[in-house]
Structure 1
Amino acid sequence: MTPRQADVLVIGAGQAGLAAGYYLRRAKADFVILDAQDRPGGAWRHAWPSLRLFSPAQYSSLPGRMMPRPAGGGYPSAADTVGYLTDYAQRYALPVIRPAKVHAVRRSGARLQVETDAGVWRPRVVISATGTWWRPYVPYYPGIGHFNGRQLHTAGYDGPGSFRGRKVVVVGGGNSAAQILAELSTVAETTWVTRRPPRLLPDEVDGKALFDLATRRHRAVLAGEPAPGIGDLGDIVAVPAVREARDRDALKAEPMFSRITPEGVTWSDGTALRCDVIVWCTGFRPALGHLAPLRLRGTDGIIPTRGTRATAEPRLHLLGYGDWTGPASATLIGAARTARDAVTEVMAQLYTDRAQTVP
């Protein structure tokens, strides 16, 4: 089969990929977006129903179109976000091909070669925006393989229905853990364990404030100036469900256990707790397997970048994987601003490439 060509190929049609598509469309670029899923919505399609964004709709929007306020106000849900992303791709007629899983990206002369379920593509530039949801992380603890109860990760949590009356241990000190614990504590006997004491942000601080602070910090680091701290504020956004759990004293956390037994967990001082379920709210890792043939990962598992551009492969940009690809780039508002800068650089690259190939 003859390889298909495009100037830019975007991998992933979640929030980061769609934001890139908006700016590429505005720049009149020759581009296509490939997405592995059969329906729009990105990772939000797989989130638990009660999940809430950390910012109001007006601060959780992609470029060009404001996210509508959810019915009844408050923070948007996962379903609200899926609807918004679906409408967004349609509104701007973004060229999304799905389902089209990308298996490998390789070097091939002046272009990159992208091997997919939708054939082989040869773009000048690749923007990888596959996110992290597809690589849930569970840390190892002695005995983890011998627990007789149920273990699941945040990515597999779909609501409190199957937990009623159970003894549940929730592991993790971030936003997902706090939201899931708040919900489960209404139907189950819950124990929250964290590596360090969890800290709720002040009620008036949400994702917009955190993004602004992350941006100021990023600019200060680039300028070699003292950087404002983010962690000093706290770790967990006090969305309404979390506030309610806090107010009924359901957010007390225990130190991290040292071992898992067939019946539950134990601490280093010998204290034991029987439980039926362990929920691991322990984060994700970047989904970068399709880029393995390029051999770009550092010893820390991530790809060194300058901005969004891979330092060892200038034809590759990475969007939405975390702060190493732009301030708060794994959030809706962060992905939008990072995508703008990335596409500006991509278009400059394409212009330079064409100028160099003109006789």
Structure 2
Amino acid sequence: MEPAPVDVVVIGAGQAGLSAAYHLRRRGFVPVDAPGDDDDPTGTFVVLDADAAPGGAWQHRWASLRMATVNGIHELPGHPVPAADPSAASRDVLPAYFADYEQRFELRVRRPVTVSAVRRADDDPDGDLVVETDRGRWRARWVINATGTWRRPFWPHYPGQERFAGRQLHVHDYVSAEEFAGERVVIVGAGISAIQLLDEISRVADTFWVTRREVDWDAGDFDTAARIAAIAGVEERVRRGLPPGSVISVTGQHWTPWARAARDRGVLVRHPMFTAVEEHGVRMPDGSFEPADVILWATGFRADIAHLAPLGLRTAAGGIRVADGRAIDEPRLFLIGYGPSQSTVGANRAGRAAVRAIMTDIARRPAERAPEEADVGAA
């Protein structure tokens, strides 16, 4: 069956994807299955999301992550985050907010839809891209990829890891501190999640915190200005085709409330990274042994972009060259929620910038194909 035609495919309905869809709506685009919404639409779009429900990664966060401790919530464009009890679980409040947002702006997200590949329809550099999914194919003039990182937790490998008799888990699979009560937990990582969970778990368990490098503590607060500075710091990396890296690697760690709480209780004690994992603990660089019941890997995530492999955009360094949210080597593709737009405020800005660039393309290159009757039920 032929791919269903559409002007823009948005892949992912987290912060970045919904921001892009909102700005498409504002610019006169309509969902592909609702052309009657506008007598003279700018074009059509479709949003494809792999999750079964709205909320992006927020619906998967651990239950103890409260609204008071969530780092960096930024409202979606055009609709503020509703007032919420600071003690409410973020995974309850924010998915409901996302669901309301989708309905309010008639974004008609299709889910669950898993994208398996994005490839060029032909050799024409001004031609279309084909998006292949488990529920049909789409042929688009532009693709806005907003798949984030949640589905790709990063697990570093250390000798002996497979011999550990206790439990190993990634932050991706963390539920609550109570499941470790009375145990000894080695927490690996220098990022925001590692510090949050160190503070939380150390209240019910014996914790031992390790990082690969000394933690560079920034005396300033991690406010909006600091986040914008972090975005700028990562931008040059992705322009050169390097892997994006983490915000912390650019800014250093900030003194958040949970970091101060852990410090004040005497548990914010950093140790060098262990050299090997043994059956009942870890071996330290000086040869000493630290027993452990649990190893929690708070080691971050990688960009979820394997479906873009057919485009052949990865550099030898392992990244994709991106400038202002657009793939330098494939201008029909935008990557938002990637690199400098990983933060929530950055994702909002990137969604707006991608749509603005599409509008510039339209102004420079009038639509070449006549309106087509799309068999939208095929996708």
Is TM > 0.5 for Structure 1 vs Structure 2? yes
Distance 1:286 1:215 in 2: 16
Distance 2:52 2:258 in 1: 32
User: How many residues are aligned here?
Assistant: 341
Distance 1:355 1:94 in 2: 23
Q: Of the candidates 54, 58, 61, which is equivalent to residue 40 of structure 1?
A: 54
For the residue of structure 1 that corresponds to 2:366, the secondary structure is helix
2:109 matches 1:91: no
The AA in structure 1 aligned to 2:108 is P
Q: Of the candidates 116, 139, 143, which is equivalent to residue 103 of structure 1?
A: 116
Partner of 2:227: 211
Q: Of the candidates 221, 242, 253, which is equivalent to residue 235 of structure 1?
A: 253
The AA in structure 2 aligned to 1:83 is A
C-alpha contact (below 8 Å) 2:273/2:285 kept by paired residues: no
For residue 260 of structure 1, report the CA deviation from its aligned partner: 0.8
The AA in structure 2 aligned to 1:335 is A
Q: Where in structure 2 are the equivalents of 1:85-234 lying within 5 Å?
A: 85-109=98-122, 110-202=127-219, 205-214=221-230, 234=252
Partner of 2:90: 77
For the residue of structure 2 that corresponds to 1:104, the secondary structure is strand
Distance 1:353 1:104 in 2: 26
For the residue of structure 2 that corresponds to 1:97, the secondary structure is coil
Q: Of the candidates 64, 84, 88, which is equivalent to residue 78 of structure 2?
A: 64
For residue 70 of structure 1, report the CA deviation from its aligned partner: 2.6
Deviations 1:206-238 (A, max 9, x none): 2413223235658999xxxxxxx9868631451
For residue 168 of structure 1, report the CA deviation from its aligned partner: 0.5
Alpha carbons of 1:284 and 1:259: their partners in 2 closer, same or farther (altered >3 Å)?
same
Distance 2:365 2:136 in 1: 25
**Structure 2, unpaired ranges of 5+:** 30-43, 238-246, 371-379
For residue 13 of structure 1, report the CA deviation from its aligned partner: 0.4
C-alpha contact (below 8 Å) 2:235/2:339 kept by paired residues: no
Distance 1:298 1:232 in 2: 21
For residue 86 of structure 1, report the CA deviation from its aligned partner: 1.9
Q: TM-score, normalised by structure 2?
A: 0.83
C-alpha contact (below 8 Å) 1:70/1:76 kept by paired residues: no
2:289 matches 1:272: yes
C-alpha contact (below 8 Å) 1:53/1:78 kept by paired residues: no
Distance 2:364 2:92 in 1: 42
**Structure 1, unpaired ranges of 5+:** 222-228, 324-328
Partner of 2:354: 342
Alpha carbons of 1:200 and 1:81: their partners in 2 closer, same or farther (altered >3 Å)?
farther
Alpha carbons of 1:170 and 1:72: their partners in 2 closer, same or farther (altered >3 Å)?
closer
Distance 1:339 1:257 in 2: 41
C-alpha contact (below 8 Å) 1:286/1:302 kept by paired residues: no
Q: TM-score, normalised by structure 1?
A: 0.88
Partner of 2:6: 6
Partner of 1:225: none
Q: Identity over the aligned pairs, expressed in percent?
A: 46
